[in-house]
Amino acid sequence: MYSRLLFLTLGTFAVGTDSFVIAGILPEISDSLDVSISTAGLLITVFAFTYAILSPIVAATTAHWPRKRLLLAGLLILAIGNALTAVLPTFGLVLASRAVAGLGAAMFTPTASTTAAALAPPEQRGRALAIVMAGLSGATALGAPIGTVIGSQVNWQATLWFVAVLSVLGAVGIAVQMPDVPSMPPVNLRKRMAPLKDARVGFTLLTTVLVFTGLYTNYSFVAESYDRATDGNGTILAVLLFVWGAGATVGNLGAGRLTDKIPGKRIIAVAIIVAGIDFALMPLSNRYLGTAIVAIFVWGICGWASLVPLQHRLLTISPAHGTLTIGLNAAATYLAVSASGLTGAAGIRLVGVHNLSLFGLGFIVLGLISSGIASRLIKKGEQTPEEAPATTPAMTKS
């Protein structure tokens, strides 16, 4: 199981690197394509927006595809999208190529999560989900910095080739190692979209949107909000971002193990509450480097510790529609990331850049309330008739 999960993780590492690395090479892209920095930033927005919008659509329309074929197609399209970004000569074409890469990511990531859950025995599903999601969190700590260094030492096109190579390597590993995973039987679109009517699914997805909006509202302006601790030094900021990524990986993997042992609602609640306390103290902790390191590490741990149990909860609620609900959760995450630039700018105007975490805290608190409502609905045992028999005892902890 672990050797197979490794290549799924490599695929999510490629997706995560593609998501985060563009920000590190944006000035070089701006100069090369002769556009402003703000215009070049649309490359990030188009990728995230395409990913967010297409994840549930792809999940719903390809539910009957063989999982292995969908995984391979997603990674190969991701590779093609990055190769096109590297070679196309004009900004408009490059922008379109980011949408192609976003389509590949939308095809791969939700499928990788549900495939990991299918490959694992019931008592190890949380761990399997965490291993695959570690690719995304690991990309923030390693993939994006490595890609940024490649861009600075060679050129920005080399960074995109780096992502394309990662994608191809993941596809080769899946082609060789991955067994055939059964697909869902063909059903009409109305039945396929049935989970959208479930309030438990709705409040779980709302939790993801609110919590990650709060977390990324501050992340989008981390250079400015932590400038007192870094004294404007880019190297120190890079160290802080590495610490954040390391915390994210620790939180993700730790939550995966815990999800297999204790109720997921406890993990979600503790992670959100601790993140909220961390954000409440951040206007003080972001003044000095020592306290900033602690604050940003806790931020990384707690932010990503909620992701796996939220996915596990969705699989528990609607096991027959797992790919769709995981796709919706991916969409919720990336919609939050896409919106964070706007919410961050609004927060700066209202409370100032060094107090921005307090603005993000409001979203985090609302996310905690939403998660509590979802937990109460799950406890009441609300189930749609066609899903009740599919729920397994091993998955009732979330």
State the pTM of this model.
Answer: 0.74
Per-residue pLDDT tens listing for the chain (398 residues): 667 788 899 999 999 899 878 877 877 888 888 888 768 878 887 888 888 888 778 877 777 788 888 999 999 999 999 999 999 999 999 999 999 999 999 899 888 888 887 777 777 777 788 888 888 878 877 887 788 788 878 888 999 999 999 999 999 999 988 877 666 555 555 665 666 778 888 899 999 999 999 998 887 677 778 889 988 776 787 788 888 888 988 888 888 888 878 888 899 999 999 999 999 999 999 999 999 999 999 999 998 898 888 888 887 887 766 667 777 887 788 788 777 777 888 888 899 989 999 999 999 999 999 999 999 988 886 444 434 333 333 344 44
Q: How far is CA 18 from CA 106, 108, 159, 168, in A?
A: 12, 13, 9, 13
State residue 257's pLDDT score.
81
State residue 389's pLDDT score.
37
State residue 364's pLDDT score.
95
Domains with residue ranges and CATH for the chain: 1-186 (1.20.1250.20), 191-398 (1.20.1250.20)
pLDDT in tens, 253-272: 888 888 878 888 899 999 99
Q: How far is CA 34 from CA 28, 147, 337, in A?
A: 10, 22, 26
Measured on CA atoms in the order 89, 93, 94, 100, is the torsion positive or negative? negative
